[in-house]
């Protein structure tokens, strides 16, 4: 890839237009539109039930969805089945971690690369993940279920990285983590951001969100009602009220 434009096309912008998610008769997301540029880190904030998790699940094809446009660069995600989404460069760290508790840390990570061939590049990715999370290297033969909450979160992020995504969807990575570990998660997100990985971060920890993202979408009742620069939103009285409870 010679120029920035080439890279942008290859990496691809995530375009979402008029996204809707309905479970039976209940609407979770309606008329939601936004974009995530290559290498951009975007947060989604809002109350419980605003549709944040459903938005991520819809992108992954894990929730019933409708949309005018759902594209990642050239790829029409609306036509891609959930199990193939990962091949198009989207990694997903689900809410509540969902590591495979009965399998070893190493197997969990290897499974993260199952959409690709297990070749030298995959082995190199495993090394990178171990470098990023030294604790996972130390624990690699342990059962994932025996790890503490913070270590499981690291494993869930590491597992998502194994598919070498261009865009990482993170759902509440700080949930249940001690303040110190929240700080460590932020450090990891900063490193990934520095490597040019695009991120869509759903998070209730205001500090983490505003530190890790450039821009935030504010969701309310299934709609994106506001977008703004994280630095500005941090001082926005309405957002502070909603998000910090002040």
Q: Give the footprint of another protein on this chain (CB under 8 A).
A: 23-27, 45-49, 53, 95-96, 147-151, 172, 175-184, 204-208, 210, 221-222, 238, 241-246
Nearest CB to another protein, comparing residues 46 and 112: 46
**Residue 227 forms beta bridges with which residues?**
217
Nearest CB to another protein, comparing residues 23 and 118: 23
Nearest CB to another protein, comparing residues 22 and 71: 22
Query: Would you say 169 and 189 are in contact if contact means Cβ atoms under 8 Å apart?
Result: no
Nearest CB to another protein, comparing residues 24 and 194: 24
**In the complex, minimum distance from the CB of residue 6 to another protein, in angstroms, rounded to a whole number:** 39
For residues 183 and 113, give the distance between their C-alpha atoms in angstroms, rounded to a whole number. 27
Kindly report the number of other CB atoms within 10 A of residue 138's CB atom.
12
Q: For residue 116, what are the contacts with CB-CB under 8 A and spacing of at least 6?
A: 122, 163, 164
**In the complex, minimum distance from the CB of residue 174 to another protein, in angstroms, rounded to a whole number:** 9
Instruction: Provide DSSP, 176-228.
Output: T--HHHHHHHHHHHHHHHHTT-EEEEE-S-HHHHHHH-SEEEEEETTEEEEEE
**In the complex, minimum distance from the CB of residue 95 to another protein, in angstroms, rounded to a whole number:** 7
Query: In b/e form, how buried is each residue of 209-238, taking b as 16+ CB within 10 angstroms?
Result: bbbbbebbbbbeebbbebeeebeebbeeee
**In the complex, minimum distance from the CB of residue 8 to another protein, in angstroms, rounded to a whole number:** 33
**In the complex, minimum distance from the CB of residue 25 to another protein, in angstroms, rounded to a whole number:** 3
For residues 200 and 189, give the distance between their C-alpha atoms in angstroms, rounded to a whole number. 11
Query: Would you say 95 and 55 are in contact if contact means Cβ atoms under 8 Å apart?
Result: no
Nearest CB to another protein, comparing residues 7 and 240: 240
Nearest CB to another protein, comparing residues 34 and 243: 243
User: What's CA 230's distance to the chain center, in Å?
Assistant: 17
| Distance (Å) of CA 113 to CA 86, 145, 240 | 9, 20, 39
């Amino acid at each position: 890839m010679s120029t920035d434009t080439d890279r942008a096309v290859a990496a691809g912008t995530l375009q979402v237009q008029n996204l809707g998610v309905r479970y039976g008769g209940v609407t979770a997301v309606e008329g939601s539109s936004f974009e995530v540029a290559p290498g951009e880190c975007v947060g989604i904030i809002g109350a419980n039930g605003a549709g944040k998790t459903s938005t991520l699940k819809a992108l992954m094809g894990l929730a019933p969805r409708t949309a005018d446009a759902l594209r990642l660069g050239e790829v029409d995600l609306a036509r891609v089945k959930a199990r193939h989404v990962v091949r198009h460069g989207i990694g997903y760290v689900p809410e509540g971690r969902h590591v495979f508790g009965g399998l070893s840390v190493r197997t969990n990570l290897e499974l993260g690369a199952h959409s690709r061939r297990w070749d030298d590049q995959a082995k190199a990715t495993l090394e990178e993940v171990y470098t990023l999370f030294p604790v996972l290297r130390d624990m690699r033969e342990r059962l994932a279920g025996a790890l503490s909450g913070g270590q499981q979160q690291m494993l869930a992020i590491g597992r998502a990285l194994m598919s070498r995504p261009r865009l990482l969807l993170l759902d509440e990575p700080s949930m249940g983590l001690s303040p110190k570990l929240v700080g460590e998660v932020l450090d990891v997100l900063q490193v990934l951001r520095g490597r040019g990985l695009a991120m869509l971060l759903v998070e209730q920890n205001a500090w983490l969100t505003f530190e890790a993202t450039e821009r935030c979408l504010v969701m309310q009742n299934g709609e994106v009602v506001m977008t703004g620069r994280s630095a500005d939103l941090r001082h926005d009285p309405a957002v502070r009220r909603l998000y910090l409870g002040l």
